[in-house]
C-alpha cells in the first residue's frame, strides 16, 4: 500500500511540474551576462564572468572614472569604447571608502553596444553607465548590452538593452529587475519613435526590438535565474 501511495504521489508531482513548465513564458531575447557582480573582498580587480577562474584584470584605469557616492562607499565606473565593428566596451566597476582618490577593488567586464545600429538615437544623450535611475540618492551601475533579434543574426540585426545593478553590500552588486524593466520601457519608446531616414528594413528591426523590450518589461518572457 505504501508503495502505491508513493507511486501516485510521484506521478502527481511530476505532472504538476510538467504543467508548471508548460505555462512558463518563452525565454526573452535578451539575457544578462551576469546576474551579480561579486567584488573581491581585498584589493584587486577580477574579470566577470569568472567561470571559477578568478582571472585578474591586467590593466586597471588610473584616471577617467565616473564617481558617485553610495552611502558609506563611493561607486566608480570607467568605460573604454566603443571599439571595432562590434562596438565593444571594456567596463571597470570599482568601490572604495568615501573620499578615496580611486577604487582599490572591483570587477572588469566586456560588453557590446552593436545594437546601437538599430537604435541610432537616444533622446537622453550619451549612454550613461553610472546613474541614479530611481532618483533615491543612491547611484546604480548600468551595463549596456546587445541582443540578437533573429537566429544567426548579423551585426545589423541586434538591439540595445540596459541592465541595472544595485550595490547591496560592500562586495556585491545585483541586478535590479524593476529598474531594468523601467529602462527597457524607456528604450522601447526610443525604438517606437520614427527616424527621419529609416528604411523599411531598419523599421522592421526597430519594431522587433521594441516588441522584445515590451515583452521583457511586461514580464511576458522569462530570463534564466531571474528569481535569484
Cα 50 to chain centroid distance, Å, stands at: 16
Residue with cell 534564466: 224
Give CA–CA dist 148/28, Å, rounded: 11
Give CA–CA dist 228/224, Å, rounded: 9
Task: Provide the angle, in degrees to the nearest 10, between the axes of the packed helices 177-192 and 200-217.
Answer: 160
Predicted confidence at residue 196, as pLDDT, reads 76
Q: Is 113 exposed, middle or buried (0-12, 13-18, 19+ CB in 10 A)?
A: buried
Predicted confidence at residue 201, as pLDDT, reads 62
- Check whether the bond before 60 is cis (ω within 30° of 0): no
Predicted confidence at residue 52, as pLDDT, reads 57
Predicted confidence at residue 225, as pLDDT, reads 59
Predicted confidence at residue 109, as pLDDT, reads 95
Name the E strands within 22-104.
Answer: 36-38, 44-48, 66-70, 73-83, 88-97
Cell of 34: 551576469
Q: Cβ atoms within 10 A of the Cβ of 18, count? A: 10
Give CA–CA dist 21/42, Å, rounded: 42
Mean pLDDT per 10-residue section of the chain, whose length is 228 residues: 42 44 82 94 86 75 93 94 95 92 93 96 92 96 97 96 96 96 97 79 91 97 66
**pTM for the full model?**
0.85
Amino acid at each position: 500500500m505504501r508503495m502505491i501511495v508513493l507511486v501516485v504521489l510521484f506521478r502527481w508531482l511530476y505532472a504538476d511540474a510538467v504543467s508548471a513548465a508548460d505555462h512558463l513564458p518563452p525565454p526573452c531575447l535578451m539575457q544578462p551576462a551576469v546576474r551579480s557582480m561579486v567584488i573581491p573582498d581585498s584589493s584587486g580587480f577580477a574579470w566577470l564572468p569568472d567561470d571559477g577562474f578568478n582571472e585578474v584584470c591586467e590593466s586597471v584605469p588610473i584616471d577617467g572614472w565616473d564617481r558617485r557616492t553610495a552611502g558609506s562607499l563611493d561607486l566608480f565606473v570607467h568605460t573604454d569604447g566603443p571599439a571595432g565593428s562590434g562596438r565593444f566596451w571594456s567596463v571597470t566597476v570599482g568601490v572604495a571608502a568615501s573620499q578615496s582618490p580611486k577604487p582599490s577593488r572591483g570587477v572588469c567586464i566586456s560588453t557590446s553596444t552593436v545594437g546601437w545600429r538599430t537604435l541610432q538615437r537616444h533622446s537622453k544623450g550619451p549612454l550613461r553607465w553610472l546613474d541614479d535611475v530611481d532618483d533615491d540618492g543612491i547611484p546604480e551601475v548600468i551595463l549596456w548590452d546587445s541582443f540578437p533579434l533573429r537566429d544567426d543574426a548579423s551585426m545589423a540585426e541586434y538591439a540595445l538593452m540596459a541592465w541595472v545593478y544595485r550595490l547591496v553590500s560592500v562586495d556585491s552588486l545585483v541586478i535590479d529587475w524593476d529598474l531594468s524593466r523601467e529602462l527597457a520601457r524607456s528604450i522601447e519608446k526610443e525604438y517606437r519613435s520614427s527616424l527621419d531616414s529609416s528604411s523599411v528594413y531598419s523599421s522592421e528591426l526597430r519594431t522587433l526590438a521594441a516588441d522584445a523590450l515590451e515583452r521583457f518589461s511586461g514580464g511576458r518572457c522569462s530570463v534564466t535565474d531571474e528569481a535569484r
